[in-house]
Structure 1
Amino acid sequence: MNGITVTKLELINGTTPKLGSKVTVRAHVSVKNPNIASFKYRNTTTTLYYYGKVVGDARGHAGRAKPHRTVRMNITIDIIMDRLLASPNLVADASSGTLTMSSYSRIGGRINVLNIIKRHVTVKMNCSMTVDIFSQAIQAQKWKRKVDL
């Protein structure tokens, strides 16, 4: 994850999001394909969690990752503010200026090695990140991935 941009965020007293407002997060993501096989993937799904509760989801478009190349994409996540505001941890996190969130992405597709070997593949990624609310910068992030052939 290269960075995020938060749009349409309305704050009360500069710290707490306004009830009923819609928040959109645009994540700038780079995915490197270090393999010798190209990976043609279908539409992707990403779910955003805050303290284990689903607060947003996104859909990504289908595409292709060429061998030894990096694919850059923008993912737009719509956050369900009522769920986020229902968390008892939000006020403390907002006061500190950081939010710790996690996400789960599932990407299904097919690999192709020289038109000889073709296999279905599912890539699952878990990410935890700490985001600075005011600068919209990622302070820390950890990724785990699993590939099912």
Structure 2
Amino acid sequence: MKGEGKRNTKCLVYVAAFIVFQTIIILAFALTVMRVKSPKVRFGAVVVENTSSSTNSSSFDMRLFAQVAIKNTNFGHFKYDSSNVTILYGDTQVGSAVIPKGRAKARKTQRFNVTIDVTSASLSGNANLANDIGSGVLRLSSQAKLSGKVHLMKVIKKKKSGQMSCTIAVELAQRAIQELTCK
């Protein structure tokens, strides 16, 4: 009879240890893999082409070739809807491009190119524009928001969105990007 009591106690200790071990594994899994984060959207690189500017008429026209990077740090893929990249001078839109719908694989960065035609046609009467063109450096900003869903293990779907906010300093004489900063 004494041996059975020890065996039962030993069995209970093993079962309790197994339950604690399984709880720790499930908790670690839930805190790492199942935690869904918003993807990061940034400009990877921007190239300026076809630049024309005039200090007299306070106008500019240019074409930007931009690489958009969507960094998905989740353990599931991010499927996003089509969206727009908007280029602003001050608070006025001077250009935009469409980001087609797509999918960023799990724990990967998807890169693709967009072409943005930027013009000052909507900036009539802006006093700062002549000064900026005269200085040779044009400061623009860009914004985009990608909305979609992160799919975990083909069962769990969480809505997430990534936002981009970049400032771009274009050196007009060199037709080059002097500074590109994204948040």
- Give CA deviations for 1:105-124 in whole Å, capped at 9, x if unaligned: 01111111111211222222
Shift of 1:85: 5.5
Shift of 1:49: 0.8
Gaps of 5+ in 2: 1-42
**Paired AA for residue 3 in structure 1:** A
Structure 1 residues 51 and 107: CA distance shift in structure 2, 3 A: same
For the 8 Å contact 1:3–1:138, the answer to whether it is kept is: no
Q: Does 1:109 align with 2:148?
A: yes
Segments ≥4 residues shifted beyond 4 Å: 15-18
Secondary structure of 2:94's counterpart equals strand
- Does 98-107 or 114-123 show the bigger shift? 114-123
1:4 aligned to 46, 57, 63, which one? 46
Q: Does 1:74 align with 2:113?
A: yes
2:128 aligned to 78, 89, 95, which one? 89
- In our comparison, the structure showing a higher alpha carbon Rg is 2
CA distance in structure 2 between the aligned counterparts of 1:135 and 1:3, rounded to whole angstroms: 16
Partner residue in 2 for 1:25? 64
CA distance in structure 2 between the aligned counterparts of 1:54 and 1:126, rounded to whole angstroms: 14
1:62 aligned to 101, 104, 108, which one? 101
TM-score (norm 1): 0.78
For the 8 Å contact 1:125–1:143, the answer to whether it is kept is: yes
Number of equivalent positions: 141
- Does 45-54 or 116-125 show the bigger shift? 116-125
Structure 1 residues 31 and 132: CA distance shift in structure 2, 3 A: farther
Sequence identity percentage: 31
- Give CA deviations for 1:10-67 in whole Å, capped at 9, x if unaligned: 3448x9646xxx6432212222222222101111111111011111121111111111
Gaps of 5+ in 1: 145-149
